[in-house]
Structures are given as structure tokens and as C-alpha cells.
Chain A
Amino acid sequence: MYVAVKGGEKAINNAHRLLADRRRGDRSVPAVSLEQIVEQLALGVDRIMSEASLYDRELAALAMKQSRGDMIEAIFLLRAYRTTLPRFGYSEPIDTAEMRIERRISATYKDLPGGQLLGPTFDYTHRLLDPALMADGEVEPGMAAEAETGRTPRVSEILAHEGLIESDGDLPDDHRTGDLTREPMEFPMERDIRLQALARGDEGFLLALGYSTQRGYARTHPFTGEIRIGEVEVLLEVPELGFAVSLGEIQVTECQMVTQFKGSAKSPPQFTRGYGLVFGQSERKAMAMSLVDRALRAEELGEDIVAPAQDEEFVISHSDNVQATGFVEHLKLPHYVDFQAELDLVRRMRAEYEANQKKQEGNGGDTLEAAE
């Protein structure tokens, strides 16, 4: 019989003090500053913002420092912080055609208007460790060239006039934009809520699901129509002013995945699309998101649902790593009473099993004798 107890207060306090000590590490090594994290571990900061679903580079850097670089812990910290703040409103939808582009590539069109800008990419590097970075040497600034200015149309707009590619996703006119931070999730869900869930989804989970569609589990024949990374303006309609105020710029990554579609009872043969939009420079996540968005449109496009990546409830219910880690990690908390109850149960079942076993051995012996 287990009796409920309290305790561990001193152990917990000392454990947290030890955590702070280990977080700081060797005191002869300078402490890392938030500015250093924001500037030099920028893509890690972007991942925290994206999966915490909160755009704030400084706070994301603080979360990374506090979590000792444990990304999911950092995402959890930032997600928890957002619950302490009031909501001022909803922004106007950002316009990615007006993006100040830092990188923009297309795997479908070589000569698209505005050109292919590689930007600060890992692509075409040799993936060799660079010993030069072990020292703090001089780094040359980027080269400069004359830039085109103005709006850069998305590749989907260029393709649209032939009618061989579907248009941007339009929900019915009377549809009110869903918000999963305000309403409980219900399945099946509309594409807007699904995209909100995918935008905050775990990069590794979405990457694996996107990969599974390429390997034949819900094959969609994808091409990267376009990836663009850069800054977009955020506008907020302010009632006391009566106009939309510009709040500044955020950096986003947008991916337009184009997939061949042989047609179905619901739609003619054409190129269909999956969409990815992620905070910061997060190309892998944006690509994975667009693959999974497309796979999850199976029902809408009249495709057979045969693979995990097409199963909306499975994908969306398991894509949030804060929820996932909460439920998995809760298993390490004390379950003494639960376990005691199960132990009693297993003991009883074992006793019954052994009694049955004995009885059958007795019967078995009789049969053997009879046979002899």
C-alpha cells in the first residue's frame, strides 16, 4: 500500500541551482550575449520563433540561452511567455510580392522576372568543416551589385495565365479566418487553420512527413516553384487612428511547391500547389510545410487517402512539439500511485495465470498417462 507523500523541495531547489551553474559552464569562458545569439546563431533563433509561433528575436535568443540550446525547451519557454501578453489585434495579411528579397530561387523556371538570387545559402557549399572558424578572423562583407527595385511577382502569378496551375487558395466569401489559439481544434478543418498549425509545427516531424510523400507514401510529384526569403511590412489597423499603422518589418520564408496532378472527379489535370510560410530564414521547414499542405489536400482534390501524410487528424494532432514533449516528458514525473495500482493488478493476474498453469499441468499429466 502506497501512502501519499510530499517532499523533494530542497532537492528541487538545489537541482535548479545546479542547472544554472551548468548553464553558465566554465567561468573562465566569456558568457554568450543575446546579441551574439541573434547575430551568429540566427537560424536557431528563427526556428525558435517559428515553432513557438512568436516573432521576437531578442526573446527567442533569451530562450535559447536559458535552455542551454535545447530547442524544444526554448520553444516551450517562448510559447509560455506569449500566454502572459494581451492580444492587440490581427495584422493585415502580409504581401509577399512586395517582399524585400534576400534570396529567391525557382526550380521550375530558369528565366523568371526578377531573376534567381541565391542569397546567403548553404546550397553549393561542400559541407566541409571550416577550421578557419575556430579562430575569430576577419570576414569579408558581401559583394554589391546593382539591384532591381519594386514588386517581384510570385512565380504562381506568372504561371497562372496559362490556366494549367490552380489559383491561390480561396475559401468561401463568408468564411471567417480560424485561429487555433482561440478556438479548440476540430476535424476536419479548413485549410487556413491547417496552415496555422503547420506554420508552428515541428520542423523534424514535417520534414519526415514531407520526405515520406517523396518516397511514395502519397506521391505528389513536387517541384519547387519558388522559394523566397526576405522582409515584409506588417500593418495593423488601429481603431483609434482609423488607418493601418506600419509596425515594422519581419523576415519570412515562403515556399510555393507545385505538384503534377492527373485529375480526378473533382478537378481537371493541372498543377496543384502546396504553400509554406515560416518566420525568419527557414527554408527546409517552409518546403516541408508546403509538401505536407499539399498532401493534406487529398480530400479536397478527390485523391485516395492511403498514407500518414494525408491523414489530417494524425498530422495536425502530432505536429506541435510543445504538446508532444509535454505528454512524452510527463512520463518521468512521479506515477507512484498509478504504478502501485498496476503492480497489484499484475500480481493478481500472475497468480491466476500460475494457478491455471498448474491446473493444466495436472490435467496434462493425466492425459499423458492415459496415452501411454
Chain B
Amino acid sequence: MAKQENMTADESAMDETSRREAMAVLARATQAELEAAWKEWRDKPEVEPVRGPETGLVMLRGRIGGGGSPFNFGEATVTRATVRLSTGQVGHAYALGTAKGKVRYAAIFDALWQDEQTREDVEDTVLEPVRRRVQARTESRAAEAAATKVDFFTMVRGED
């Protein structure tokens, strides 16, 4: 019995980690990507807005010296939305910027991701293409920066 409870706790922790990752991908998607994915989605449930989409501010924090005590160093615009699907799931989304349409779609896909029936579809048709695009950009940026790495060499002094 105790063992079974542990497993459930582990599973829910794993679920939370996967959902955080899914939400992170949705936050990095473009409005066009999510809009196209929603358009293609078969068996669309009814979507009821619970909150938003609404734009507000998040105060960003840094740390003194990079790793010391926190300090507030400026705000960023953030848009959030919460929706409820006719299937019962409630989806949340938060993303930097003011794109209300995008964040509403992100909340819908967060709700669909939570439904065991549709999670795989969300992973394959929505998240995977965004992950690939973001990964490709990250890699090409890193490669471009790496090409500007300084190779120091010692001058030949010609003493003899």
C-alpha cells in the first residue's frame, strides 16, 4: 500500500516535470505555429475562457554579483490565459510578450496535453516542431558565437 502511494507520488512528480517542459515549449512557440496547429486539430472541444488572455508585468530578478542576494532589475511584459475545455481539463499559459492570441492557444494545448487521450497528439503535432525549431536556432547561435572564439598563440621570440 505504502509502495503504491510512493509510485503515485513519483508519477505525479514526473508528470509535473513533463508538463513544465510542455508549457516551456508552448511559451516559446509563435502565434502562427499554434494557430496552424489548432486549425488542423480534429475533434476540437468547446473552449471556455476562465481568465484572460491578459497582459501584465513580471518584475525580473537578478542576483548581486551573479550569485548573491536577489535584486529587482526591471520588468517584462507577460501575457497569461486560463481556459476550460468541454472535456473538463483546465489549461494555463504564461509567456513573455503581449501576444494574447498565442497565449490563448497555448492554454488550450496545455489543457489538451493534460488529457491522456490527446497528450500524444499535442506532443507530436504541436510541441515537437516547436522544439525542433527552437533547438536549431539555439545550436546555430551557439555555433556562430563559437566561431568568434579567440585562439591565443605565443609569438616566436627569435632569441637564437
Contacts and interface: CB of A to CB of B under 8 A. Distances in A.
Interface in A267-299: 273, 275, 277, 279
Contacts of A144: 140, 143-144, 146-147
A58 B98 contact: yes
Interface stretch (B2-10, B37-45, B56-64, B115-123): B56-64
Nearest to B62: A277
Contacts of B59: 87, 89-91, 179, 181
Given A88-B78, A148-B146, A149-B142, A82 B57 contact: yes
Contact of A56 (B24, B77, B82, B149): B77
B81 interface: no
Contact of A247 (B16, B94, B143): B94
> How many residues of B sit at the interface, in one of the four size bands?
35 or more
A9 B98 CA distance: 35
A97 interface: yes
A252 B147 CA distance: 21
B97 interface: yes
Contacts of A157: 67
A342 interface: no
B96 interface: yes
Contacts of B138: 100
A248 B95 contact: yes
Interface in A49-66: 49-50, 53-56, 58-59
Contacts of B80: 88
B106 to A, nearest CB: 11
Interface stretch (A168-176, A209-217, A321-329): A168-176
Contacts of B20: 243-246
A25 to B, nearest CB: 27
Contacts of A154: 66-67
Contact of A119 (B61, B77, B139, B148): B148
Nearest to B64: A169
B4 to A, nearest CB: 23
Contacts of B70: 93, 177, 192
A305 interface: no
23 contacts: A49-B74, A55-B77, A56-B76, A56-B97, A90-B72, A91-B61, A94-B63, A103-B145, A110-B152, A119-B145, A144-B144, A145-B143, A147-B143, A168-B67, A169-B65, A169-B68, A179-B59, A181-B59, A192-B72, A196-B72, A230-B145, A234-B96, A248-B27
Interface of A: 49-50, 53-56, 58-59, 82, 85-94, 96-97, 100-103, 110-111, 115-119, 141-149, 154, 156-157, 167-171, 175, 177-181, 191-193, 195-196, 199-200, 230, 234, 236, 238, 240-241, 243-250, 252, 254, 256, 273, 275, 277, 279
Interface of B: 16, 20, 23-24, 27-28, 54-78, 80, 82, 92, 94-98, 138-150, 152
